Amino acid sequence: MFGRKRTPEKNQQHSQTKKEYDPSVYKPVLKCSICNGEQVAGFKNRETGKFEEIQFIRNEQELAQFLKNYGLDTIEKEY
């Protein structure tokens, strides 16, 4: 209402760029709620265990896009 709406082209360009993370420090994790089924993709620090949320996952397409963005084949689920 008060801000400018993003055009679809900007959103697509942003989501298509391959992003990087340091696999020696972080591991990719999909946090899943056993109560309501919500899923959040992000990275967990291997030393501290702190989870950094990156994206809320609502369907298989969003999960596939997250995996593609970071060049991942699989992701570990945590409940």
**DSSP letters of 2-62?**
-SPPPPHHHHHHHHHS-----TTTEEEEEEE-TTT--EEEEEEETTT--EEEEEEE-SHHH
- Which two tokens mark 5? 């709406």
- Which two tokens mark 35? 């109560």
The pLDDT of 26-43, averaged and rounded, is 96
Give the model's confidence band at 13: pLDDT under 50 very low, under 70 low, under 90 confident, else very high: very low
pLDDT for residue 19: 83
The pLDDT of 4-33, averaged and rounded, is 74
The pLDDT of 35-51, averaged and rounded, is 96
Give the model's confidence band at 10: pLDDT under 50 very low, under 70 low, under 90 confident, else very high: very low
| Cα separation of the two ends of the chain | 36
| pTM, entire model | 0.74
